[in-house]
Chains A and B, each alone.
Chain A
Amino acid sequence: MALSERIDRNVDLTHFEGKIPVSYVYTYGLGLEKFFRAIKDKGEFLASKCPECGTTYFPCRIFCERCFSEISDTYKVPGTGRVESFTVCHLNMDGTKKETPQVVGLIRMDGAEDATFVHLLDISPSRASIGMRVKPVLKPKKEREGSILDIISFKP
């Protein structure tokens, strides 16, 4: 049963519907633009490392949140990693049941060990486990458009 069905009570003069009519155009930012260009054009994954304190970031960033240094360089990482935690989602945003449960993972990235990255796992719920190794699956080059969804999922 969806949440929307549960909370609607049709009583006179108690409520009315409304919305805030806004939409947005977001920029990638200086750090993430490099990251998504590398995925789209070359199928590569870029991380960055703080030149001062050594903290690693994935995706690449232009500054370090810990010591506030500028990070001007990026470096390639394989995109592979280890599952740090996972969950199996059974409901959609509106409270209805998903047809197939969806596995979501937190992945600690090889070559950028300070960073974990959240994405979908292409694996049956019963096979998911903490510690398992996973690798990214990219869309074919001509379908990539510079989105996090250019990575379809991670799989064992």
Chain B
Amino acid sequence: MGQRVAIIGAGMTKFVRRAQETGKELAWQAAKAALDSCGLTLKDIDCVSLGTAPDAFDGVHMKGEYLSDGSGGWRKPYIRHFVGGGTGVFAPIHGWFHVASGVFDTCLVVCSEKMSSCHPHPQGAFKTIFDHTTEQPLDPTLIWIFALEYNRYMQTYGISKRDIALVSVKNKKNAMDHPAAQLPMEITVDDVLNSELLAWPVNRLDISPASDGAAAIVLAGERTARRLTDKPVWIEGVGWNLDTAYWATRDLSYPRYVEKAARMAYEMAGIKEPKKEIEIAEPYDPFTYKELHHMEGLLLADRGEAPQLLVDGVTQRDGDRPMCPSGGALGVGNPISATGLMKVIEIFLQLRGEAGKRQVPGNPTCGLAQAWGDLMQVGTVIVLKNR
């Protein structure tokens, strides 16, 4: 390995249903805030990595090129990467390649998404991620996949909708302390169960919203990081993995690809017992059951046991294993790529003790963020430590 890599700064916009700002303006706001947070200017940045989800959301073809100015790409080594919903956590991994290799010393990592341009709703764009010959003629919606997986997960382990609904209650409440949150609210399990039924077993309050927003971080090699901050947060492990291209054929009750991504990251970070060593996590929660499903894939709960940890309060901010202290995609919002990076930023702030009202007790030293995407079969994982 060329050199150790730290996150030294972070910034993000509010997540909203429809921003007046364009995607590139959102990118600039987040990137500028990230640079300001560590006292750097664009001149100090060696290279830029952009993460953004399908071009069809924005209705802008070659979105990487379109977002380049707002991302700080002018006359720099600049590249866009994309693994669907997994993009936001792949973003710091992609930036890490640049700096860990020793080729660059600083990297600005930006994720920007403007889903509201897609009219009347990004469902139309999501439809075209399905196979054009065998699936699109059936008029599928994205919710099919989740509903089928949710049902399979419940059936395999005998889990109730009532227990799973608690994820929404917890995360939307956590989001009340997040200044960028789109859907912070205090709700009950019955509110979730009585919200509009979209595709059984998925109700309206089981789903994260479509959002506009951007997030950005600044990465630096070890020597530069130590010179610029006394609170660097180190990227200690990275992992990513892809399951079958035929999504319907996956094991729907267990995300094996997340486990493989997690094991890759744990091995790099020297983590032997994730349940003990990962003190805080931001698993991807675009749907309620996914937080639980992903905790199991991340080996932070035994298979089928995550709901019990939730019911017992273990995953609350003041519990032994806090999950989504930010409020997650369910509470803060879900501008696809920016969501994953928001989760990385949350762990960064928590490990620096700078999460304000969201700060978990006990001075955590090691945390992870995870996202999931493509045709719902890619897992991306990053492990961060503050020492």
Contacts and interface: CB of A to CB of B under 8 A. Distances in A.
A138 interface: no
A99 interface: no
A148 B120 contact: no
A85 B148 contact: yes
Contacts of A3: 120-121
A148 B141 contact: no
Given A7-B17, A19-B59, A87 B244 contact: no
Given A89-B143, A118-B135, A7 B200 contact: no
Given A90-B197, A91-B199, A115-B249, A28 B152 contact: no
A32 B139 CA distance: 19
A89 B123 CA distance: 14
A130 interface: yes
A44 interface: no
Contacts of A19: 59
A97 B20 CA distance: 29
A18 B197 CA distance: 31
Given A26-B132, A148-B135, A89 B144 contact: yes
Contacts of A87: 143-144, 147-148, 151, 199-202
Contacts of A14: 20
Q: Which of B59, B61, B143, B200 has the most CB of A within 10 A?
A: B200
B195 interface: no
A117 B131 CA distance: 12
Contacts of B133: 26, 28-29, 32, 36, 148
A106 interface: yes
Nearest to B253: A85
B200 A88 contact: yes
Contacts of B248: 106, 115-118
Contact of B252 (A20, A65, A84): A84
Contacts of A118: 135, 138, 140, 144, 148, 248
Contact of A65 (B61, B120, B245): B245
Question: Chain A interface secondary structure, helix, strand, loop or mixed?
Answer: mixed
A95 interface: yes
Contacts of A43: none
B137 interface: yes
Interface in A76-129: 84-91, 93-95, 104, 106, 114-120, 125
Contacts of A115: 246, 248-249
B274 interface: no
A46 to B, nearest CB: 13
Contacts of B127: 93
A1 to B, nearest CB: 10
A20 B151 contact: no
Nearest to B128: A24
A104 B148 contact: yes
Given A85-B155, A87-B148, A88-B200, A7 B134 contact: no
Contacts of B162: none
Nearest to A18: B59
Contacts of B198: 89-91
A61 to B, nearest CB: 9
A92 to B, nearest CB: 9
A64 B149 CA distance: 24
A59 interface: yes
Contacts of A114: 249
A12 interface: no
B182 to A, nearest CB: 13
A67 interface: no
A86 B144 contact: no
A23 interface: no
Contacts of A94: 120-121, 123
Given A116-B248, A118-B140, A4 B135 contact: no
Contact of B137 (A59, A93, A149): A149
Interface of A: 2-4, 7, 9, 14, 17-20, 24, 26, 28-29, 32, 36, 57, 59, 65, 84-91, 93-95, 104, 106, 114-120, 125, 130, 147-149
Interface of B: 17-18, 20, 56, 59, 61, 116, 119-121, 123-124, 127, 132-135, 137-141, 143-144, 147-149, 151-152, 155, 196-202, 244-246, 248-249, 252
Please name the 4 residue pairs, one residue from A and one from B, whose CB atoms are nearest each other, closest first: A87-B147, A4-B120, A85-B152, A88-B200
9 contacts: A7-B120, A20-B56, A29-B133, A84-B252, A88-B199, A91-B141, A104-B140, A148-B134, A148-B137
Given A32-B133, A89-B144, 13 more contacts: A4-B120, A59-B134, A85-B152, A86-B148, A91-B198, A94-B121, A104-B147, A106-B252, A116-B248, A117-B248, A118-B138, A130-B151, A149-B137
